[in-house]
């Protein structure tokens, strides 16, 4: 076996959301960005990356090139449309069968490692890693037991079946990748993960796409007044992300200072997702009830380049979520030169660093205090913006992939040491799994 440090072919499995879907609506979010960015950078380093995802339309070609060295395969598993994420556990067998049919055409010992993202992927990755006799590397991204402990009012708890499935994946995985030290601790404390199996690999930000720029030009690009005070929310519209907290805080602000109405613009970028799909117009209705219709602009998900303009156009970006395993929106905003006001939960303290303000709890008055205070203090916003750019510079995707490659090498080495007498794996193949 030669070239043991080389990362060759990579197969990523993504059951519940396609990397081709734009983040911000449905089930597409930070996980999609993670898979896309790591796949592209692994390919740029010489890997051949194949991503397997569930087909959501009969017309989808397979495979679809996503970029140099990256292909996306669409696997038939259940009906193309109308299948909610909660229904997907019943289709994991069909998805796994589709993956295995494709892999059946490969030579024996074709893959080096399986990397699964989210628990649904982990269930398939568990089977694939066992079949291919390779290590399973798993990233949770979100965990039911964490989410259930921090539910928004009226939100639904994750079902016991998900908790059981997550626990099985944690036990089966050779290596667990956590976004932050806090998430690593949650894996050990809530899922009895073996501490030596857990490696911290922070997600990244595209520092060429998200960078400081001319705010006036950005506002012209997205159609905002150049003299406005702009507060932004970016994310899927669902209780977990708490965009209602922002609207309640803005209502409190304009009640305290009615003159703000002349300049204030609140941008809400994203689409309904998760339990938010049950009442897809609820946030618009809340804005109307609060008398904020003239201040709030609801914008569907936009392409990444346009998203960067929105970040640069804003005076503040808010992340009021009840929980985030990391918080890519916060780092993207900081990299774009815009300070952040975020909830002090999950991975957000790591993502925000000294580039913003952390708020304990979700009380609208407290959020109004912090947002209002920053809107009135230009010098403080500038200082936070400068600190934020420096902070975000430490989260480039290349650093993420550096750390991931080291995790893969360790996982392969440990697996090889445990396979005395068994055929050795080739050095030109890696498999990532991400339903």
Give the chain's end-to-end CA distance (angstroms, integer): 31
pLDDT value of position 60? 80
pLDDT value of position 278? 75
What are φ and ψ of residue 409, in 5° steps?
Answer: -60, -45
Torsion of CA 270, 272, 275, 280, to 10 degrees: 140
209-232 burial: b if 16+ Cβ within 10 Å, else e: ebbbbebeebbebbebeeebbbbb
Residue 368 belongs to what H/E stretch?
Answer: helix 364-375
* Rounded-to-integer distance, Cα 186 and Cα 159, Å: 18
Which long-range contacts link 211-218 to residues 24+ away (Cβ below 8 Å)? 211/308, 211/335, 211/336, 211/337, 212/312, 212/336, 212/337, 212/385, 212/389, 213/308, 213/312, 213/336, 213/337, 214/312, 215/312, 215/313, 218/309, 218/310, 218/312, 218/313
> DSSP H helical segments within 45-159, as ranges?
92-103, 119-132, 144-149
Q: Which residues contact 430 (CB under 8 A, 6 or more apart)?
A: 7, 8, 9, 10, 11, 42, 47, 111, 112, 113, 115, 408
What DSSP assignment string belongs to 306-365?
HHHHHHHH-SEEEE--S--SS-HHHHHHHHTT--EEEES-TTHHHHHTTSEEEESS--HH
pLDDT value of position 260? 93
Each of the 435 residues of the chain gets a pLDDT tens digit; together they read 223 466 677 777 788 888 888 787 667 788 999 999 999 998 899 888 888 889 988 888 778 999 998 989 899 999 988 888 888 999 999 999 999 998 888 888 788 888 899 999 999 999 999 998 888 999 999 999 999 999 888 889 999 999 999 999 999 999 999 999 999 999 999 999 999 999 999 999 999 999 999 999 999 999 999 999 999 999 999 999 999 999 999 999 999 999 999 999 999 999 887 776 778 899 999 999 999 999 999 999 999 999 999 999 999 999 999 999 999 999 999 999 999 999 999 999 999 999 999 999 999 999 999 999 999 999 999 999 999 999 999 999 999 999 999 998 888 888 777 654 444 433 433 444 444
Extract the tokens encoding 303: 């392409």
Q: In what order do the strands lie in the sheet with 64-67?
A: 9-14, 48-54, 70-75, 64-67
pLDDT value of position 426? 37
410-432 burial: b if 16+ Cβ within 10 Å, else e: ebbeebeeeeeeeeebbbebbbb
The pairing of strands 70-75 and 64-67 is: antiparallel
Bridge partners of residue 231, in order along the sequence:
266, 316
Strand ranges (E), 203-245 = 229-234
Closest alpha carbon to 361 in 370, 351, 352:
370
* Rounded-to-integer distance, Cα 53 and Cα 12, Å: 8
- Cα angle for residues 16, 322, 31 (degrees, 5° grid): 25
User: What is residue 133's DSSP assignment?
Assistant: T
What size, in residues, is the chain? Answer: 435
The structure tokens 């420096």 sit at: 390
* Rounded-to-integer distance, Cα 106 and Cα 99, Å: 11
Extract the tokens encoding 405: 């490659």
pLDDT value of position 418? 64
pLDDT value of position 2? 28
pTM of the model: 0.91
């Amino acid at each position: 076996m030669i070239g043991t440090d080389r990362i060759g072919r990579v197969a990523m499995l993504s059951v519940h959301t396609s990397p081709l879907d734009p983040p911000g609506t449905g089930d597409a979010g930070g996980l999609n960005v993670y898979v896309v960015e790591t796949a592209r950078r692994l390919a740029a380093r010489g890997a051949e990356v194949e991503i397997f995802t569930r087909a959501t339309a009969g017309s989808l070609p397979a495979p679809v090139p996503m970029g140099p060295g990256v292909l996306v395969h669409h696997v038939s598993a259940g009906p193309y449309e109308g299948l909610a994420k909660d229904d997907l556990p019943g289709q994991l067998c069909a998805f796994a069968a589709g993956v295995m049919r494709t892999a059946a055409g490969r030579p024996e010992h074709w893959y080096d490692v399986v990397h699964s993202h989210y628990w649904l992927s982990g269930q398939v990755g568990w089977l694939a890693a066992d079949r291919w006799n390779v290590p399973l590397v798993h990233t949770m991204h979100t965990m039911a037991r964490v989410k259930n402990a921090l539910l928004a009012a009226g939100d639904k708890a994750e079902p016991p079946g998900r908790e059981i499935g997550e626990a099985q994946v944690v036990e089966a995985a050779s290596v667990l990748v956590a976004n932050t030290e806090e998430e690593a601790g949650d894996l050990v404390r809530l899922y009895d993960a073996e501490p030596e199996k857990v490696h911290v690999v922070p997600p990244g930000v595209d520092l060429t796409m998200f960078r400081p720029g001319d705010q006036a030009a950005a506002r012209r690009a997205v159609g905002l007044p150049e003299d406005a005070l702009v507060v932004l929310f970016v994310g899927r519209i669902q209780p977990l992300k708490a965009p209602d907290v922002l609207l309640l805080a803005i209502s409190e602000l304009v009640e305290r200072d009615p003159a703000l109405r002349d300049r204030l613009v609140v941008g809400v970028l994203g689409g309904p997702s998760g339990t938010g799909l049950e009442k897809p117009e609820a946030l618009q209705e809340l804005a109307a009830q609060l008398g904020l219709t003239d201040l709030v602009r609801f914008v569907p998900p936009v392409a990444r380049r346009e998203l960067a303009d929105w970040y640069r156009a804003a005076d503040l970006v808010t992340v009021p979520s009840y929980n985030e395993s990391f918080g890519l929106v916060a780092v993207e905003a900081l990299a774009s030169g815009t300070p952040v006001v975020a909830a002090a939960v999950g991975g957000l303290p790591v993502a925000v660093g000294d580039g913003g303000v952390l708020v304990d709890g979700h009380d609208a008055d407290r959020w109004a205090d912090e947002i209002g205070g920053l809107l009135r203090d230009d010098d403080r916003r500038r200082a936070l913006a400068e600190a934020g750019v420096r902070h975000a510079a430490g989260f480039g995707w290349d650093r993420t992939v550096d750390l991931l490659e080291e995790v893969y090498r360790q996982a392969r080495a440990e697996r090889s040491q445990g396979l005395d007498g068994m055929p050795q794996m080739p050095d030109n193949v890696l498999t990532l799994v991400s339903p």
